[in-house]
Structures are given as C-alpha cells and as structure tokens.
Amino acid sequence: MRLYKRGKTWFVDVNLRGGARRRLSTGCQDKKAAELIARRIEQEHADPEGTAVRSATLEQALTLLISKREQQAELGKRSPATAMMYRKKSGHLLRLLGQDGVEYRPFRIGELSASHVDAYIRTRREEGAAGNTIAKEIVTLRGALKLAARAGLWDGNLLAVLPAESLSDYRPRTRWLTEGEVDKLLGALGGDRAARVAYIVATSANRNESNLALRGDVSPARDFVEIHGTKTAWRSRKVPMVVPLLRRYLDFALKHAEGTGDALFRPWGNMNRDILVACKRVGIERCSPNDLRRTCATWLRGMGLQPDLIAAVLGHRDTRMVERVYGRLSPEVLAVRMKQSLKSR
C-alpha cells in the first residue's frame, strides 16, 4: 500500500479488477487515519462482500475520532483540552473492551452489543468512576462508531448498542458572589492575587484567559478589555466596560496588578486552593475561579441585561449556557423583577 499526499489530503493507489490501478482519496489529512481508510479501501476492492466491516476494530474507530477532534482543535472549532479528553476516554474503552482475560486483543466493533456496553458501564461504576465520567466515555464511543460507519467500517445500529438514558450525574454549579463577598475576598488575598480576582469578576475571563492578560489589552480609556480566548476561536472577544460596578473592579485590578513586562499578572500556581483558603479566612462560602466568572454574568442578569448580550460578554455562541448555568437570577432579584413586570402592565 502506497500513500500519496496532494495538498493536505492523503490518497492511496489501489488495484482494480482487470489489473488496472487507480488513485483514490482517503478524505483524511492525518496520515495515521488515512492509513486506516486506505486499508479499508483495499479490502473493499479485494473483497466486496464486507471484509472491512467484519475486521474493523475499536482501536481503528477511536483513532478516527481522535484524529478528527485534533484537527478540529487545530482549526479552533474545539479546544485542545477537549481533544485530549477524547484521547483519555478512549484509553478506558480500549482497556476494558480490548481485554480478553489478562491479554490484549483487538476488539472487533462488528461484534459490539448492548451487553458489552452494559458490562463496561458496570465495571466503570465498580471502579468508582462518576456518572458524568462514564457518560463522557460513552459519548466518545458514540462518536467513534459514527465516524467508523461513515468510513464504511461499521454497519451497526447505535440505538441497539448504546444506552438510551443519560448516565451523567453532573449538576451545574450555581455559586456566585455578592459585592460584599467579593470585597472580603479581595481583602483576604491582597496584592496581585486580589487584582486577578477583580479582573475576572470585571471581565468574565476564565482562569486560563486571565493567565494571558496583557497590559495592552485594556484600551487607553479603559472602556474595552480584550480577552484572549483559550477554548475555541469565538472565545476571543472585546468586553465593553460600560457598567460602573464592573469598571470599579477593573480599576482595582489595574491598580494592584504586579505582572512583569507586558503581562498584567504574576503567575498563580494553585489558584483554586488559595481562593478556598481565603474564603475560609473571611467566613464566606467556598468559590472557584469559574464562580467569579459566573458572578459577572449573574450581576449583569440582575441588572436586566438580556441573555444574548451576556453570552457575548462570556464568549458563548448562543444563550443556552447563560440560561442554564450562567446569569441565573437569584430568588430576591427574581422577586423584584416579577413585581416590576406586574406594575408595568
């Protein structure tokens, strides 16, 4: 088998009936994935009755998925962390489904049944894996099977082998801080770390985005802050500083930031632990860097800002996450808004 690259895509030469040869596209930019498709193409021409489907393995399907996710990460359609997550989840699937006693054996996906998947879920629960973790592993398996089906390596039925019910026990956090709690936290942390917390609250930046903050990201008039997104291409954004309360925290951050060179802040090794310790010190409920980001969204929602505008501030493509997780109204704010709505009728 010989592969040839034309542009970014790999092609393979195959023998046709009658002795002729033809160069066919694998449709893949990744060489390892292209080799899998090329073997399937060769098998199809050698055995049109389905050798490829009968011999395709779980490892082949997962390789296609990992290659696809890594390509999407390179294009900014998914984050590198998401691509790495699929690689890690693939390891558990291969570890359990690819075992025959103590010896590894290639698991043929044509043999996959609901009993295999149920046994896998049972074993992972016995190992102590959380429901949300197992759910992500089944999502990984689903994605691999879909790509295998598209590549002609699997002709099974997803509904027949994968569970219909949700396995996730994930419950989104709803923690956000009041203005008084933020001020207490700033006092407990002090210096550059307090500045970092104020910056996240003011701009909605997440932890990784705050790591990338530069002094030049803040416009001279301090009316816009550029955020360097780390998860996806659309997370890079410019946040308007038109809300006086958020502008106050931005001013605090700029005043106390201690970064060197162009960096706005100094490195902060264990932000979660240090924030937790500070919360305990001042007697407020524990919070995380993402809770600080949620605080920005919740304050904006309480001020009456529409979900689509909050989504733009957060760097989300639509309002779903705002409505489900970020920017949820507190009972007190909800009561006030309901009374205002009733009076306006």
Question: Given a cut of 70, is residue 283 above it in pLDDT?
Answer: yes
Question: Given a cut of 60, is residue 204 above it in pLDDT?
Answer: yes
Choosing from 125, 152, 171, the residue where a domain stops is: 171
Choosing from 171, 193, 208, the residue where a domain stops is: 171
Using an 8 Å Cβ cutoff, are 206 and 200 in contact? Answer: yes
Whether residues 155 and 68 share a domain: the answer is: yes
Whether residues 37 and 68 share a domain: the answer is: no
Using an 8 Å Cβ cutoff, are 209 and 238 in contact? Answer: no
Whether residues 255 and 329 share a domain: the answer is: yes
State pTM to two decimals. Answer: 0.62
Q: Please give the mean pLDDT across all residues of the chain.
A: 86
**H-helix segments, the chain:** 31-46, 51-55, 58-74, 80-97, 114-126, 131-150, 158-161, 179-189, 191-203, 207-211, 244-256, 271-282, 289-302, 307-314, 320-324, 331-343
Whether residues 93 and 40 share a domain: the answer is: no
Question: Given a cut of 90, is residue 8 above it in pLDDT?
Answer: no
User: Exposed e or buried b for every residue in 252-268, given b needs 16+ CB within 10 A?
Assistant: bbbebbebeeeebbeeb
Whether residues 49 and 62 share a domain: the answer is: no
Whether residues 226 and 210 share a domain: the answer is: yes
Provide the domain limits for residue 4: 1-55
Nearest CA-CA partner of 67 in 39, 121, 26, 113:
26
Whether residues 67 and 184 share a domain: the answer is: no
Whether residues 265 and 337 share a domain: the answer is: yes
In this structure, what token pair is assigned to residue 54? 């009968």
Whether residues 189 and 166 share a domain: the answer is: no
Query: What would the pLDDT profile of 104-156 be if each residue is shown by its tens digit?
Result: 668 889 889 999 999 999 999 999 998 889 999 999 999 999 999 988 889 88
Burial degree of 274 (CB within 10 A; 0-12, 13-18, 19+): middle
What does the pLDDT average to over 258-268? Answer: 96
**H-helix segments, 129-256:** 131-150, 158-161, 179-189, 191-203, 207-211, 244-256
Whether residues 42 and 66 share a domain: the answer is: no
Using an 8 Å Cβ cutoff, are 253 and 247 in contact? Answer: no
Whether residues 161 and 184 share a domain: the answer is: no
Whether residues 14 and 112 share a domain: the answer is: no
Coil, helix or strand for 226?
A: strand
- Domain holding 151: CATH number? 1.10.150.130
